[in-house]
């Protein structure tokens, strides 16, 4: 006999095989949890405590309704089970679906854990955005199926925005799957104690994003320097190599705000220190960089092996990711490695103490948190043991706690301008100043387009600080016409990204010599703006100079992101949500509320169509004014980009 009842403004549904709880979770938000265990867990993972909500619940024993602002959730009995109907201002936006015996949604794994599915009816004509970064060309996720898992180039955040005006957060850090097909919507956790999801609404995309950030956290304000140009390559082998590049930029009058010291500057994975032979005086190096106005950034890997002096004390105190069965090795890279376990508070404290002695004491306050997924092979999550539990239940949380370790450490030292460059994220990572990038992507025009999709998708998952390796990461031949065209177009895209960072493992040049023979990880080809041909140098230099002039605009709207959750890089529908055309646009976007950017991302292309929403728009190149409400044809030679500014916006003056 199933029972529906209302207790303390919450709705409970009880039947032989399932317990369901529907409740308000802050204004305009409803949280649903269901389980076969007989009791609901209060585990919230990365959710923040809910704010106040004006809630009204009614129940007659056959159905119950919860009203919270403009959102209504109605739970009602059906033969053999129940369904939940969500309405926004009276209009249906989402409805659960049953397929056969409801218990089929729970497949027992072990103990109290199940593979759990939540099924919903499809909505014809609905557009779905989010899910994190996928290396594929579809901004609209409707019609797609996606693994919920992190790996290099893929960071899954189980958050979506619907064109029907609601957001959805699948609050389960287990690896899993989601599908947005024509016959159903599916969310699946491979191993969990309960289903847990939140539905939230607003009258605009900005309002929906604001609710989401109240659930998971707002980003801090972006520091002035982080909004500028970042110089990076794989890799500067020594202190002198890095300083030579910094000095040359400084001498040319090209502003570099950050320069990155990439991996294998250390003595051993897990030692987190400079190799004294190639980096003899880090403090003096940092002092010189700061005098030039350049911020040093250091790559950190969470890998560790028995050759590290930190391995034994960390291993004995269970501060490392362990295996349920077999030996310690879960990543083969210069020998078997395991990873630190940042889900353990002791790990976070221990690692920060090492970082403080070997980097922070020299003046390094910003870190590149590589391998943040973490990268394990094979990806057998059920064989991993973390402080918080088995990896099949919570492995997706790793990048969240990895970023938290450095945020908390820097904050404990009194730092206020905290950002970290990280290769993966989870809902809530934004509040730790996580700047996410999309990993080791190829140097191709196809990857350039997919990066546009990744950046916009991450924005709709509450990650406003995002970037890609300008030029792509691997297979870039700096002496080829193909790459020289690609780097110019990617630089233009980088100009209109929240962070502008040049990076890549370029192919070694025909005349390149080894600067430090025998080094474990030799540098790739040169990757500075003078490395891509004489014709490209002034193009790239001018883009960096323009970025410097755009800083006040960027910082203004990054401050708005910290206050409201509105991302800097956003799909066209974010600002023009009443314009149906904007929901189908994936290759142009708004950079803040006033700049419309339409990147060129095909080889050899110099012309493309651009959609201008209603209003007057000024082309940045010639200051011509165009009336919106339709498409315009635009030309942009290799030294030009296509951007428009709202007529009357002050930012037009910097172009």
| SS3 call for 648 | coil
pLDDT at 438: 97
Q: Which residue has the tokens 């980088």?
A: 494
Element (H, E) at 255: none
3-state SS string for 204-222: CHHHHHHHHHHHHCCCCCC
pLDDT at 511: 87
Q: Do the beta carbons of residue 6 and residue 73 sit within 8 Å? A: no
Residue 609's beta-bridge partner residues?
633
CA distance 592 to 498: 10
Average pLDDT over residues 2-18: 95
> Which alpha helices (DSSP H) does 24-179 contain, by range?
none
Closest-CA residue to 262 (of 572, 641, 523): 523
Closest-CA residue to 458 (of 431, 430, 495, 418): 430
Considering only residues 103 and 448, tell me which one the structure prediction assigns the higher pLDDT.
Answer: 448
153 confidence band (pLDDT: 50, 70, 90): very high
The DSSP secondary-structure symbol of 610 reads E
Beta-sheet strands, E only, within 468-606: 500-502, 569-571, 589-591, 595-597
Closest-CA residue to 412 (of 355, 358, 335, 467): 355
CA distance 368 to 469: 13
Q: Do the beta carbons of residue 342 and residue 401 sit within 8 Å? A: yes
The DSSP-derived string for 493-517 is HHHTSSSEEE--BPPPPTT---SST
- The catalytic residue positions are 370, 373, 440
> First-to-last CA distance in the chain?
69
573 confidence band (pLDDT: 50, 70, 90): very high
Q: Could you count the other beta carbons within 10 Å of the beta carbon of residue 394?
A: 24
Beta-sheet strands, E only, within 291-419: 295-300, 303-304, 322-323, 331-332, 336-339, 366-369, 384-386, 389-390
CA distance 99 to 83: 11
Closest-CA residue to 512 (of 250, 251, 256, 237): 237
Res. 99: pLDDT tops 90: no
Beta-sheet strands, E only, within 301-357: 303-304, 322-323, 331-332, 336-339
Question: Could you give the C-alpha distances from 271 to 265, 300, 352, 389, 653, in angstroms and in order?
Answer: 11, 10, 12, 26, 49
Average pLDDT over residues 503-524: 93
Kindly state which CATH superfamily the domain 569-654 is placed in.
Golgi alpha-mannosidase II (2.60.40.1180)
Q: Supply φ then ψ for residue 541, to 5 degrees.
A: -60, -45
| SS3 call for 390 | strand
Q: Do the beta carbons of residue 103 and residue 17 sit within 8 Å? A: yes
Question: Could you give the C-alpha distances from 426 to 37, 45, 274, 394, in angstroms and in order?
Answer: 27, 11, 30, 11
Considering only residues 328 and 170, tell me which one the structure prediction assigns the higher pLDDT.
Answer: 170
Q: Give 322-379 pLDDT, tens digit per residue.
A: 999 988 899 999 999 999 999 999 999 999 999 999 999 999 999 999 999 999 999 9
pLDDT above 90 covers what percent of the chain? 96
Q: Give 559-570 pLDDT, tens digit per residue.
A: 999 999 999 999
Architecture per CATH, 225-564: Alpha-Beta Barrel (3.20)
Q: Give 636-655 pLDDT, tens digit per residue.
A: 999 999 999 999 999 999 99
| SS3 call for 159 | strand
Right CATH for 3-201 from 3.30.70.100, 2.60.120.10, 2.60.40.1760, 3.40.50.300: 2.60.40.1760
Closest-CA residue to 396 (of 187, 158, 197): 158
Angle, vertex CA 216, rays to CA 352 and CA 580, nearest 5: 135
Which residues lie closer than 8 Å to 200 by C-beta, 6 or more apart? 28, 29, 30, 71, 166, 167, 168, 169, 208, 211, 212, 215
Res. 414: pLDDT tops 90: yes
102 confidence band (pLDDT: 50, 70, 90): confident
Q: Do the beta carbons of residue 70 and residue 208 sit within 8 Å? A: no
Burial class (CB in 10 A: 0-12, 13-18, 19+), 611: buried
Res. 481: pLDDT tops 80: yes
Res. 522: pLDDT tops 90: yes
Res. 103: pLDDT tops 90: no
Residue 410's beta-bridge partner residues?
none
Q: Do the beta carbons of residue 437 and residue 494 sit within 8 Å? A: no
Q: Where are the domains of the chain?
A: 3-201, 225-564, 569-654
Please tell me the least confidently modeled range out of 29-33, 147-151, 276-280, 508-512: 508-512
Burial class (CB in 10 A: 0-12, 13-18, 19+), 183: exposed
Q: Give 199-217 pLDDT, tens digit per residue.
A: 999 999 999 999 999 999 9
pLDDT at 275: 98
Average pLDDT over residues 58-64: 96
Res. 586: pLDDT tops 90: yes
Closest-CA residue to 461 (of 244, 208, 92): 208
Beta-sheet strands, E only, within 174-254: 176-180, 185-192, 195-201, 229-231
The DSSP-derived string for 416-457 is ----EEES---TTGGGGTEEEE--S-BSSHHHHHHHHHHHHH
104 confidence band (pLDDT: 50, 70, 90): confident
CA distance 591 to 459: 11
Tell me the chain's radius of gyration from C-alpha atoms.
25
In this structure, are strands 155-162 and 128-133 parallel, antiparallel, or unpaired?
antiparallel
Average pLDDT over residues 598-617: 98
CA distance 536 to 450: 23
Number of helices followed by number of strands (H, E) in the chain: 11, 40
Res. 4: pLDDT tops 80: yes
Do the domains spanning 3-201 and 569-654 agree at the CATH topology level?
yes
- pTM (global) more than 0.75: yes
Largest CA distance in the chain: 81
Q: Do the beta carbons of residue 536 and residue 478 sit within 8 Å? A: no
Average pLDDT over residues 274-293: 98
pLDDT at 100: 76
CA distance 133 to 500: 18
Peptide bond into 480 cis (omega under 30): no
> Which pair of tokens denotes residue 11?
């709705």
pLDDT at 101: 80
Average pLDDT over residues 472-489: 97
> Which pair of tokens denotes residue 418?
């905290």
CA distance 372 to 367: 12
Considering only residues 468 and 326, tell me which one the structure prediction assigns the higher pLDDT.
Answer: 468
Peptide bond into 235 cis (omega under 30): yes
């Amino acid at each position: 006999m199933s029972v529906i009842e209302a207790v303390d403004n919450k709705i409970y549904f009880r039947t032989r095989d399932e317990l369901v709880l529907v409740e308000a979770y802050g204004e305009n938000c409803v949280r649903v949890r269901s389980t076969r265990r007989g009791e609901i867990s209060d585990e919230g993972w990365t959710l923040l405590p809910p704010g106040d909500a004006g809630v009204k619940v009614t129940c007659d024993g056959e159905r119950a309704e919860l009203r919270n602002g403009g959102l209504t959730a109605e739970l009602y009995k059906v033969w053999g089970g129940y369904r939940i109907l969500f309405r926004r201002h009276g209009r249906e936006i989402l409805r659960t679906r049953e397929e056969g015996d409801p218990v089929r949604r729970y497949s027992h794994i072990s103990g109290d854990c199940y593979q759990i599915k939540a099924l919903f009816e499809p909505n014809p004509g609905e557009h779905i955005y989010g899910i994190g970064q996928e290396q594929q060309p579809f901004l609209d996720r409707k019609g797609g199926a996606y693994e919920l898992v992190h790996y290099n180039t893929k960071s899954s955040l189980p958050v979506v925005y619907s064109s029907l005006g609601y957001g959805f957060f699948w609050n389960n850090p287990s690896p899993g799957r989601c599908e947005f097909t024509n016959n159903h919507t599916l969310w699946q956790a491979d191993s969990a104690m309960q289903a847990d999801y939140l539905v939230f609404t607003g009258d605009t995309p900005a309002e929906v994003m604001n609710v989401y950030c109240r659930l998971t956290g707002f980003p801090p304000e972006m520091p002035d320097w982080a909004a500028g140009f970042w110089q990076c390559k794989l890799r500067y082998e020594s202190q002198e190599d890095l300083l030579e590049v910094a000095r040359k930029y400084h001498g040319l009058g090209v502003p570099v705000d950050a320069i990155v010291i990439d991996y294998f500057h250390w003595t051993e994975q897990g030692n987190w220190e400079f190799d004294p032979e190639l980096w003899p005086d880090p403090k003096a190096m940092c002092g010189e960089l700061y005098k030039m106005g350049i911020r040093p950034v250091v790559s950190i890997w969470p890998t560790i092996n028995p050759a590290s002096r930190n391995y034994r004390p960390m291993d004995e105190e269970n501060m490392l990711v362990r295996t349920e069965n077999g030996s310690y090795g879960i990543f083969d890279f210069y020998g078997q490695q395991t990873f630190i376990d940042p889900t353990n508070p002791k790990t976070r404290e221990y690692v920060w103490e090492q970082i403080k002695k070997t980097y922070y004491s020299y003046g390094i306050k910003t870190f590149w948190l590589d391998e943040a997924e973490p990268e394990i092979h094979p990806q057998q999550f059920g064989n991993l043991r973390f402080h918080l539990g088995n990896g099949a239940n919570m492995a997706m949380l790793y990048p969240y706690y990895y970023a938290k370790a450095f945020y908390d450490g820097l904050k404990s030292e009194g730092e206020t301008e905290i950002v970290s460059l990280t290769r993966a994220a989870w809902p809530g990572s934004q509040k730790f100043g996580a700047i996410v990038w999309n990993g080791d992507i190829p140097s191709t025009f196809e990857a350039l387009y997919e990066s546009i999709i990744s950046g916009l998708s991450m924005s709709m998952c509450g990650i406003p600080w995002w970037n890609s390796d300008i030029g792509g990461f691997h297979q870039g031949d700096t002496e080829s016409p193909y790459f020289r065209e690609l780097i110019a177009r990617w630089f233009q895209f980088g100009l209109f990204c929240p962070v502008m960072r040049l990076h890549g493992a370029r192919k070694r040049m025909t005349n390149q010599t080894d600067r430090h023979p025998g080094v474990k990880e030799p540098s790739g080809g040169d990757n500075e703006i003078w490395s891509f041909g004489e014709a490209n140098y002034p193009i790239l230099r001018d883009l960096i100079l323009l970025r410097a002039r755009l800083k006040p605009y960027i910082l203004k709207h990054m401050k708005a992101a910290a206050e409201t959750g509105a991302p800097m890089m956003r799909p066209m529908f974010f600002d023009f949500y009443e314009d149906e055309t904007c929901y189908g646009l994936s290759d142009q976007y708004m950079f803040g509320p006033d700049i419309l950017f339409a990147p060129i991302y095909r080889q050899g292309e110099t012309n493309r169509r651009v959609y201008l929403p209603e209003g007057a728009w000024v082309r940045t190149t010639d200051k011509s004014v165009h009336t919106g409400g339709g498409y315009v044809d635009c030309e942009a030679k290799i030294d030009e980009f296509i951007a428009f500014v709202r007529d009357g916006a002050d930012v037009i003056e910097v172009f």
